[in-house]
Structures are given as structure tokens and as C-alpha cells.
Structure 1
Amino acid sequence: MQLKLKILDIQENQDIVFINFNDALKERIDPGEKVVIKKSDYFFSSSAVLTNDLVKIGYIGISSEKAKRLNSKDNDTLDVYPDGNIELSHILKRKIEGKILTKEEIVKLVGGIITGNIDSVLISSFLTSTQILGTSTKEVEHLTRAMAETGTMIKFEKSPVMDVHSIGGVPGNKTALLTVPIVASSGLTIPKTSSRAITSPAGTADVVEVLSPVDFGADRLKEIVNSTGGCLAWSGVLNLTPADDKIVEVERKLLIDPEPIILASVLSKKYAMGADFLLIDIPMGDGAKVTNWESARKLASNFTELGSALGIHVEVAITYGGQPIGNAVGPALEAREALLALQGKLTGSLTEKAIGLSGILLELGKKAEVGKGKDLAREILESGKALEKFKEIIKAQGGNPNIKPEEIPLGKYKENISSDDSGYITKIDNSLIVKVAKILGTPFDKGSGLILNYKVGDRVEKNDVIVELYAESEERLLLAKKFLDYNKIFQTEGMILKRFPGLKVI
């Protein structure tokens, strides 16, 4: 049937459209049934929500975002019909049953995710079955290629193209803000694109967005990289791997991150960006995604093997992930800390990790001999060249290159948390830090987050301020403070971990 478009002022992430009950009845469309919306050669599939009042007979209501995809305006005529494609459901059923999918099936699966034929419910079943059953090596390769080749493929003028990516899992991992300008300062090309936070308090894109825009089309991104040698951009707008964006949205809700999807998600973007050399950072430790050497080695092997199949030289650095990188957690706080490190006003785990990763990339790019890359990276950072390159990139991306760390706005509500004990800190709970940061409002409230004034090995005295909390709403600050009344981020030597009261003596 043909229906006129009514653009609705709504935000939705469940792929829904609104159809009048009477129109749905004529076409035998049930509530929640998938329908295809088509204009000229472009189409997508969404679930039908039936209504009497929201749209009139003869109209279909869709979000402004979907209208843009159709290049349509109010009252334009659209073709609407039931989606009779059940083949995709059979493919997913095969996966749930533990069968190995063919290349053709995976290509159809990815296409279905992009068009909306596979909705969030079906994506959830795909992710959970992958989490439980795993995938074959060939399946991951096919998935990676399909995710990349259905999106934008970018080719840069200068080679080799370097890249670095952390799989995440450790709070405060803002090393890219140092690594990219260090490597770009040497004359290498390093177009760093990243996602927003999935399960962490802040992704690289969330942190950089505090200082400059991060959303660029492919042509503008190439201009930035060609002029500066690097970038710190969000991959979402580039349409590099459109299926991945929808998968990530579901992952965020399920709070899962299956290893095969990590591999395909990371390498599909790097494959699409034309990377020649890629360094993967795998943080390992309590509270990180990878907690032991065996798992780290296996994941590292899978990354290098998949990279080789795709024509990318992949190396892996297994890094310490038992506590946050640096002291700040949260977009604005991390941006401020990265600036201080670039200015040479801060040293510690952030600078040491960034120097180590940069050193490997400099060796891979033949800018330093093997074993000498770290020295060159330190020289570039300490000389101020990395800071100047960072300013150059921020300016090219439309930000203020001269912003000072103290000028970055933080949440206006602040609370200091004091230590209940004296002693040496023996453990920091990464998972609790993430929970507190989320309660405070990260990553969406840019000024929210926390600063850890002590790290593992430091001595703390009773009543010392060990954590500073920042929030953009008083309510969130109070919730975080209440959470910390019952949950301790720090464990000190000799500290009582838990007291269980006895029963009343009768």
C-alpha cells in the first residue's frame, strides 16, 4: 500500500514506525510485525506500532532520522508492505542451534541488520548465542569483511597507515590522546577512529568531544588526516560498519561483549580505514575484560590471525589493567588529565602506557629501530612536539587548540570521599569504579566522573580524601555517595573486608 509520510518528533532505537489501525487491518499487519518502507531504490524494515490517534488513516509516522535516510519530507508518498523475508530467521535459528554459518549466510545476516529486517530482539539472540557457543575462525573473517564492505571504505594518500585500539575494560584509558599525536609527530599517518562508550565510563570519542567535534564525513576526515597526519574521530558518522552500530546498541543494553564480536567490530573498522599496521592493546587484570594470561594470549592470537587473513599486520600489547589508567575517570576529567600529561605537568601510568604503545608503532612504521621506539616516543612527548601536534589536530577538527586544562568545565556538584582506614592500598576495584561513574552520569554528562587520589601501593591515612566525585546533578551525586557507603573502591592492607553480626544470645 501507499501511505503519506508524517515525521514524528521522537527518538527511538528499536526500529519502529506508526501505522493507523485501519490501514494495518487492510494489509493484515499485526502489532510488532515487520514492514518494509520504500522510496525509489532505498528501503528499510521496521516493526509496526498500531495507533488510532498518533497518525491518521493513509499516513505512516516515522522519526526524523528515518525520514532523512529516505530523503523525504512530510506528505511524501511511501510504499509500505509486510516484510515476507523469513530466510533471515532461519539463518539465526541455525546459529542458535550451534551450526556454522556460510559466507553467504553471514552476508545476508549483516545486510538484514543494516536494513532493519533483523531487529534488536533478533540481534540479541545472535549475540547471546555467539557469547555462549562462540564462532569458527572463518565465520569471524566473513563477518568482519561483510561488516566493512557494506559500509564506507576509506583510502588515505600516504602510507603506511598506522592505528591503535584498546579493547577496553579498564577505566580511564585515554592513552589515544597521547599516542596519536606522538606517532603523527614522527611523520606517520594515524587516523584514529573510535566508538563511544559501550560498557565503560568514557570512550575515546566521548573524551575528545570535550575538546573538539568528533563527527566527520569521510571526505572531511581525509582532509584532516592529510593535513595533520592524524585524527581523533568518532566512527559512527563515517558509516564505516553500519551493522556494528546497531550491534553495539544492543550490546550496551545486554552488558555483554562476546569475543568474536570484539574481533569483528574492531578489525572491520580498521579494514575499512585501510590500516596497514595495527596495534591492539589488551588490558589484563582483575575487573578488566581479560583477567588472566591464558585468555590474553588466546585473544592476542585470534587478533593476529584475523588481521593476517585481512591483510593487516596486527601486533598485540598485553598491558596492566588491574587499576585505572591515570587518576581521572569520566570524559571531561580524562580530557583534562590528558592535556596535563601532554604539557609535561603529569607523569605516571598514563604517560608510561602511552609511551610504550607509541614506541611499538614507531618501530612498526620504521621510524625507530626495534627496541628504540620507546626512547623516541618519550623524546617526542617531553620535547613538546606531541602537544603541538595535538593542538594542530584539535584545531583541524574545529576545537580550541589553546584551551587550558583548568578551563574544561566539570560537574558543578562535588563531594570528597575520605578513607575509613590507614594502610597501603593493595587493590582497586575497577568494576565498582565503572558503576560509580555511571551513577554519576558518565558518559552522557561530560562533566561527571571521579578522581582517584591514590593508587595501588600508595599509603593512605585515615580521613585522607581518596576519591573526588563530580556530577552535573545533585541527585546523581547523592546516589553515588550512598552507593559508596556500602561499596569500597579501595582495599587497604589489614582492612576488615566484611563484618557479619552475630545472633542474639538467648
Structure 2
Amino acid sequence: MARKITVRNLDIEQGRPEVTLTEEDAKELGVHVQDRVRIKADGREAVGIVNIARSGLAPGTMWLSPEITRRIGLSDGQTATVIPAEKPCSIGLIKKKMDGEHLSKEDFRAVVKDVLENNLSETEIAAFISALYINEMNMDETVALTQVLAETGETLDFPGRTVYDKHSLGGVPGNKVSLLIVPIVAAAGLTIPKTSSRAITSASGTADTMEVLAPVTFDAEEIKAIVNKTMGILCWGGGVNLAPADDIFIRVEHPLALDPHNLALCSVMAKKIATDTDFLVMDLPMGSGTKIKDLDSAERFAMDFIELGKRIGIKVECVVTYGDKPVGRAVGPALEAKEALRALEGEGPSSLIEKSAGLAGVLLEAGGVAVKGEGKKKALDILRTGKALRKMREIIEAQGGNPDITSKDIRPGRHRSKVRAEREGYVVAVHNRAVVEIARAAGAPQDKGAGFLLLKGKGQRVSEGDVLFEIYAESKYKLEQATKLARQRPPVKIEGMIIEKIPSYGIIR
């Protein structure tokens, strides 16, 4: 049954395509809440998930979320044809995986197609992710899904060039190493088109940090032009629509706190296929709050990345890195951009410089510009001689930023609080998750100036009253909330040299 209904645009982002019908219209169509309907107008169509309004909406009218109106170009007051939509065939494939069966490449293609065409609800996508978590994919399935994810989005190509890239599995705050690695590698004459994500759970993604220095949103032709000019770029992958279904999977899995092992492999490698990558260095941070808790887990990830890379034509080398504390001292877009520039200027913290040079060195050795075992030394030389800084200025200018910007020009949020030690002792731990939560409470990454600056690191001695860290915010209210959270969840743990006395009783007579 089809029904003509007048559109009323609901100018509220829903995060998914939704159609709100009156009870009368829903009854006529024979649909219920969470059913699907197909909306057609002017030769275009979209599928939406049904909500039902008991009041506030006149019969013969419907509210459409922006996700639908943008897709088919409907304006307020226009009329569209609404018909019940059939259940997608991929529902059966999700059930098949939940039952522990293997899926073929065509099966994955059907699921991904339905995800991209909004034929699946978030509940159904969550069921698919849960099935992959409970019944892990084998390597054949992992290869198939990786290829399908890459094929269903836009791709970049750099003919005649060997393309190098770096990716981190994440979980460590302040991991701004790409802002050093890209100019180091590009300054050595290697091609490194770094497409990065925005923060989902962290205080700043690489794209958020780079955006402090220059625009990061470009289409495929613009990216290729910048790379052809400078050998490198630091841009937001979302501007190119790389592996778009993967972005949907990430958004759905986040609140579930699920991260299927093989889906993580697909997520990374699909985007490397899409960016024409030939050689990839994988940063595998190990420690509290990361995906990798121990060396056994690190080895499993490394072997799987290497094997998947072989099957899809990308050479992969993995580096297990220390992930128990932030990289450098700064967490948050402006603070991280400032610290990265300071490192390029020759004044950055040793942890940031050491990690960046180590990872860049792997790429330099792979590209033949450094002999085996000398890559890190070569990277440090490029950094210390100012070649990386000059290259970074070229990249900033090519991306539309100010090439003359210095670290001193970058100002964090104008509201600041200093959190002091309440006792003397030694810093025995810095809790990554608490650092991120505090920075986000202060407004990061949306507020570029918000963030967290660590002043006392692990192993340092502190006296009562010493400033342990600073919190920056762009609003006084957010600063108060972040400072309150820091008191409730102290990110810096201090202990004395004596932990406990055993037995603990007093005077012996």
C-alpha cells in the first residue's frame, strides 16, 4: 500500500534516518514503530525507520529527519509517496553469523550495502557487531569484509608513487606523533598522504589537532594536488568518504563498548586500501586503557595485521610502544598542536620525539633512505636540522594555513586551573582514561583550546603544593566541571617510598 504524505522537516540531527507518522497514517500503511518505510519523490528514494506521534502532527503529514531530507532533497511542504519497505535480506545474514557460520564476500557486500542505504536500524547493526564479537571472523572473512568496506567508498590513487603510512591502534592520550612523522618522512622524499580521524572517545584526533594549524577537509582531487606538491598531507578522512560503512560501525559499537578484534583489523586496513598504501607501520600501544594489555595480545595483533596486509597487497611492520601514560605532556587540540610545533622547533618532550623518530625511522628504512637499523637516527637528524619544520610549514601552507605560525602563537583556553599535590612523594602512575575524561569535560575536542597539561610525570618526586597538572577550558563552567572531575578521579597517583607497615600495631612493651 502506498500513501501520499506531506513533508514537515524536523531540523534535529537524529544520527539515523527517521520518519515520524501519525497513528492514522501508520495504521493505513500497516506499519509499527521500528518498521521501515520507503519514501519516494522526484525519482529519488530513501528508507527510514518509523516513529509514531500521538499528538502534534496532523494526519497526512510526517516529520522527516535531516538524514532523509538531505538524501532525496525534500523541502518542507512537499509531498512524497510512502510505502512499507520489505525486511532487508541482510537480516538473515546477521542471524547466520550469530549462529557461528561463516559469511562470504557477497554476504558481507549485502550487509554493507544495507548499512550504507540505511536499510538496517542501529539495533540490527549492533547485532551484526555483536555477532562478530562473539563469533570472530576467520582470516578469509576478514579479507573479504576489508575489501568490501574499501570498495564501497571513495578511493585515492597515486600512480607511479610508493605510498607510505602510519596508523596507531589508539588508547593513549596526547598521541600527536603524526604531526612529526609526516613532515619527517615527506622531507626525506617519501610520499605520505595521512588521512586521519576526528576524536570519538579521545580528547583529540589527529585531524582535530592539525585543524588548529590548517584546514583538514579536502576532496580527493585536492588531496592529490597537495601531496603532489609537498609529498605529504594531514587531513580528515571523512572529507573523502573513505570506507563510509566503517564509520557507521564505529559509531554504533562505541556505546556498546564492543571492539571485535578482526573488525578492528578491517577498519584500519580498508582505509589503507582506499588511500593506495603500499607500506604501513602500525603503532601498537600497550598498557592500561589501550586495546593491548600484554605482549601476547600485541603479538596476536601484529601477526594478524601482517597476514591481512599480505593478502591485500600492503606490506606491514608493527611496533609495540609504551602506552601507560600520555605521549608528551599535552592533551587537547590546541595544546597538542603547540607541543608538536615545539618538537619540530627543537624543544619538545623526549617521549614525543623518541616515539615519533622511532616510527618515522621504520618508514625511512622501508623507503630506502636509511639503512637497516639507522632509521631512527636519520629521522632525528631530519628533525634536528630543521628540515622537518620547513616541510611542515610547506604542508600547512598547501592546506591553507599560515606557514609562519610558531608554537608561541597558539593559545589554549583562557580559563585555567592548577591542581596541586596534597602530599609529598613520587608519581607512581598517570591514569590515561582519567586524563581523557578530564580533557573532554573541559570541552575537548570541540573546544580547540580545552585540554590537560601534565607537569609531573611518572617517577618524579613531588612536594606538597607542587602543581601536578593544569586544565584549560574556553568556558568557566566547563573548567569548573573538569576540575571537579579531577578531584573525584585523580589522574596522577602519588605514593611515598613506604607503602605499608606490617604488622601495623603500635608500641611493643
Give the TM-score normalised by structure 1: 0.93
Please, which of 315, 318, 336 is the counterpart of residue 316 of structure 1?
A: 318
Query: Please, which runs of 5 or more residues in structure 2 have no aligned partner?
Result: 501-509
1:83 is matched with: 85
Residue 18 of structure 1 contacts residue 54 of structure 1 at CA under 8 Å; is this kept in 2? no
Return the offset for 1:109.
0.9
Does the 8 A contact of 2:165 with 2:280 survive in 1?
Answer: yes
In structure 2, distance between residues paired with 1:365 and 1:341:
24
Letter in 1 for 2:387: K
Q: Distance in 2 between matches of 1:480 and 1:404?
A: 28
Query: Quick check: 1:157–1:226 contact (8 Å CA) kept in 2?
Result: no
Structure 1 residue 106 corresponds to structure 2 residue 108: yes
1:111 to partner: Cα distance: 0.9
- The Cα shift of 1:156 comes to 1.4
Map 1:348-363 onto structure 2 (within 5 A).
Answer: 348-363=350-365
Deviation at 1:470, TM superposition (A): 1.1
Q: Give 1:109's aligned amino acid.
A: V
How many correspondences in the alignment? 500
Identify the residue that residue 507 of structure 2 maps to in structure 1: none
Q: Specify which of 250, 253, 260 is matched with residue 251 of structure 1.
A: 253
3-state SS of 1:236 partner = helix
1:504 is matched with none
| Residues 1:185 and 2:187 are matched in the alignment | yes
C-alpha displacement of 1:327: 0.1
Counterpart of 1:374 (choices 373, 376, 383) is 376
Query: Gapped runs of 5+ residues in structure 1?
Result: 499-506
Question: Structure 2: which amino acid aligns with 1:44?
Answer: A
2:124 match: 122
* Distance change in 2, residues 1:109/1:481 (3 Å): same
Conserved in 2, the CA contact under 8 Å of 1:432 and 1:489?
yes
The residue that corresponds to 2:334 in the other structure is: 332
Distance 1:41 1:252, change over 3 A: farther
Q: Partner letter of residue 192 of structure 1?
A: K
Same amino acid, percent of matched pairs: 42
What is the Cα-based RMSD across aligned positions, in Å? 2.3
Q: Which amino acid aligns with 1:279?
A: V
The residue aligned with 1:226 is 228
Partner SS, residue 444 of structure 1: coil
Residue 450 of structure 2 corresponds to 448
C-alpha distance in 1, partners of 2:265/2:40?
Answer: 33
AA of the residue aligned to 1:61: W
Shift of 1:255: 3.3
Q: Counterpart of 1:168?
A: 170
- Matches of 2:124 and 2:369, distance apart in 1: 47
8 Å CA contact 2:48–2:68 kept in 1: the answer is no
**Distance in structure 1 (CA, Å) of the matches to 2:398 and 2:498:** 53
Give how far 1:399 is off.
1.9
- Contact 1:43–1:115 (CA<8 Å) still a contact in 2? no
Identify the residue that residue 503 of structure 1 maps to in structure 2. Answer: none
The SS at the match of 1:85 is coil
Aligned residue identity for 2:216 = V
Which range moves more in the overlay, 214-223 or 399-408? 399-408
Q: Note the C-alpha offset of 1:407.
A: 2.8
- Kept in 1, the 8 Å contact 2:226–2:398? The answer is yes
Question: Quick one: which amino acid aligns to residue 87 of structure 2?
Answer: N
Q: Deviations over 1:47-99 (max 9, x none)?
A: 12233666655444334453333245445554432221242222112222222
1:299-448 maps to which residues of 2 (within 5 A)?
299-448=301-450
Name the CA shift for 1:279/1:55 in 2 (closer, same or farther; >3 Å). farther
Structure-2 residue corresponding to 1:97: 99
Report the alpha carbon displacement of residue 199 of structure 1 after superposing the two structures with TM: 2.1
Indicate if the aligned counterparts of 2:88 and 2:119 stay in contact, CA closer than 8 A: no
Contact 1:421 1:495 in 2 (8 A): no
Q: 1:261 aligns with which of 260, 263, 269?
A: 263
Change (3 A) 1:41 1:106: farther
Query: CA distance change for structure 1 residues 416 and 10 in 2, over 3 Å: closer, same or farther?
Result: same
Conserved in 2, the CA contact under 8 Å of 1:411 and 1:448? yes
Number of the residue aligned with 1:502: none
Report SS of the residue matched to 2:381. Answer: helix
What amino acid maps onto 2:370 in structure 1? A
> How much does 1:4 deviate?
4.7
Match of 2:478 in 1: 476
- Deviation at 1:171? 0.6
- Give the Cα–Cα distance (whole angstroms) in 1 for the partners of residues 497 and 10 of structure 2: 57
Alpha-carbon displacement from aligned partner over 1:21-48 (angstroms, at most 9, x marks no partner): 4333321121221122345675432212
Mapped partners of 1:149, 1:189: distance in 2: 23
Give 2:212's match in structure 1, choosing from 189, 210, 213: 210
The reply on whether 1:282 has 2:278 as its aligned counterpart is no
Moved more, 17-26 or 106-115: 17-26
Q: Do the aligned partners of 2:23 and 2:52 also contact (CA within 8 Å) in 1?
A: yes
- The answer (yes or no) to whether the contact 1:198–1:251 under 8 Å persists in 2 is no
SS of 1:450's partner is: strand
Determine the structure 2 residue equivalent to 1:464.
466
| C-alpha separation in 2, matches of 1:223 and 1:106 | 34
- Going from structure 1 to structure 2, the CA distance change for 1:484 and 1:37 (only over 3 Å counts) comes to same
Amino acid at match of 1:476: K
SS at match of 1:274: coil
Shift of 1:149: 0.4
CA distance in 2, matches of 1:210, 1:41: 42
- CA drift at 1:452: 0.4
Counterpart residue identity of residue 82, structure 1: P
Distance 1:347 1:483, change over 3 A: closer
Closer, same or farther in 2 for the Cα pair 1:53/1:227, shift >3 Å?
Answer: farther
**1:25 maps to which residue?**
27
